Amino acid sequence: MDQQHTSSLLDLHARLLTLKLLPRTGWLQRGMTNVESIAEHTFSLVALALLVGDQVPGIDRGRVLSIALLHDIAEVLVGDLPYSARRLFGPAAKHNAERLAMLELLSGLPQSQADEYMALWNEYEEGQSREARLVKQLDRIEMLSQALAYERAGSRATDEFWDGIEEGWSDEFPQVRSLVNRLIAEHNRLRGQSNGTVYAHSAHSGNGAEAFNGYAVNGVATGEWVSG
């Protein structure tokens, strides 16, 4: 590695470190404090990708982990945009801004390395491979797991994240469906403990389909799900 590429790599890593400081804004908008950072979300997703991916026959572990690590790094420059902001300029503008951010962030790497990372990022954005689609599904699972963590800590500001949650899951990965069912059951258990009732998940026509296509529930998203 020559001196220029060494400096560029260290510069990129220093920029990626800022993801430790940037909060997931969807939680902040719900009045929560000490919320997870983008980096913490990414670590949690990568852990899920390893654990679940190893139980899916034929999945390329390295590809899954690479996609999970790369999926939100554009937020170094664009931040974690909440749905309340993203809805004003639409998914195409968001995608283009993140693509430009990726190109800028990767510009100091050797061209072949930068091209590979851009291809993996595009693969995730467009759901081109089984690995990319698995990471997209797990990104939603991670959001639900984090919502449950806040509920266990006493938050009652997460109900909207569960509206219509039965919709939008692919049959491609039965392992993911099992996780969804378990998370919903735990959410219902917590709600039953708090108010003596079982929370009923509603499937909203129109809004539900739009929500899952856009990775938001009732107009709420974070990262690629709660505020991404």
Closest CA relative to residue 71, chosen from 128, 120, 3, 15: 120
207: confidence class by pLDDT, cuts 50, 70, 90 = very low
Contacts of 176 (CB under 8 A, 6+ apart): 52, 134, 137, 138, 141, 169, 170
Measured CA to CA, the distance from residue 23 to residue 97 in angstroms comes to: 19
φ and ψ at 222, to 5 degrees?
A: -150, 135
Q: How many Cβ atoms are within 10 Å of 59's Cβ, its own excluded? A: 17
CATH architecture under which domain 3-226 falls: Orthogonal Bundle (1.10)
Contact 82, 138 (CB under 8 A): no
Sequence letter at residue 195 = N
Decide if pLDDT at 197 tops 60: no
Measured CA to CA, the distance from residue 18 to residue 148 in angstroms comes to: 26
Contact 134, 64 (CB under 8 A): yes
Decide if pLDDT at 191 tops 90: no
Closest CA relative to residue 226, chosen from 65, 16, 75: 75
Measured CA to CA, the distance from residue 133 to residue 173 in angstroms comes to: 9
pLDDT at 196: 43
pLDDT tens for each residue of 126-145: 999 999 999 999 999 999 99
pLDDT tens for each residue of 32-41: 888 999 999 9
pLDDT tens for each residue of 159-190: 878 888 888 888 999 999 999 999 999 999 98
Strands (E), the chain: 221-222, 226
- Residue in the block written with tokens 């790497």: 109
> Are β-strands 226-226 and 221-222 bridged in parallel, bridged antiparallel, or unpaired?
antiparallel
4: confidence class by pLDDT, cuts 50, 70, 90 = confident
pLDDT at 195: 54
pLDDT at 1: 74
pLDDT tens for each residue of 77-117: 999 887 778 888 888 999 999 999 999 999 999 999 999 99
